[in-house]
Amino acid sequence: MRSITRSASVVLVALACTSCTFESPLAPALDVEHTTFASSLGIDLTTMTKTASGLYYQNVTVGAGAPTAAGNHVTVHYSGYLANGTEFDSSIGKTPFGFTLGAEQVIKGWDEGMLGVRVGGTRKLVIPSELAYGGGSVGAIPPNSVLVFTVQLISIP
C-alpha cells in the first residue's frame, strides 16, 4: 500500500510540474500590432512596411548611391527606444557604430532592417522581441521588449 501511495504522489508531483517552466520570462512577448507606442516615437504602423518576419520599417530620409546589401560593412548613427519612449542607447554625439550587414554582429532586426538603405538615409525600425533580445534582458531593455530604432547610414566603405 505504501508503494502505491508513493507512486501516486510522484505522479501528482510530475503532473503539477509539467505546467511549470523554470526559465519563464518575466513578461510575455508582445506582438508589434498590440504594442502601445509613446507618441514621441511617431510610430504609425499603417504607414510602415512590414516584412515576413514581423519587422516594420520606414524610410524617414532616402539617401543616395547604391543600397546596402548583405556583406557590406556599414557605419551608422542610431538611437534606440523602448515602446514607452525611454531611450536606452544612442551613438549621437559619440563615435558612429560600424558592423557587417548580415554577419550576425547585431540583432536580427538590424541585419534585416538595414538592407537597402542608401548613404545619408535614415530608417525607422520597429523590431519585435524575437528579432531583438527575445526573453533575455540586456542593460535597460526588459525581456520580450519591442524596440524602436532610428538609424542613419553614414557610409558604406
Closest CA to 116 of 146, 77, 156: 156
57, three cell numbers: 520599417
Q: Is 89 a catalytic residue?
A: yes
Q: Pick the catalytic residue from 37, 56, 81, 133.
A: 133
Cβ pair 140, 88 in contact under 8 A: yes
**Catalytic site residue from 89, 97, 99, 154:** 89
Q: Is 107 a catalytic residue?
A: yes
Is 78 noted as a catalytic residue in this protein?
A: yes
Q: Are 97 and 78 in contact (CB under 8 A)?
A: yes
**Closest to 99 measured CA to CA, from 127, 60, 71, 125:** 71
Among residues 37, 56, 107, 111, which one is catalytic?
A: 107
User: Is there a contact between 74 and 146 (Cβ–Cβ < 8 Å)?
Assistant: no
For residue 74, list its beta bridge partners. 99
Q: How far apart are CA 155 and CA 73, in angstroms?
A: 8
Do 81 and 41 form a contact (C-beta atoms < 8 A)? yes
Catalytic-residue membership of 44: no
Choice among 88, 97, 99, 154 that is catalytic: 88
Please tell me which residue in 37, 57, 78, 81 is annotated as part of the active site.
78
- From the candidates 43, 56, 149, 156, give the one annotated as an active-site residue: 149
Catalytic residue ranges: 78, 88-89, 107, 133, 149
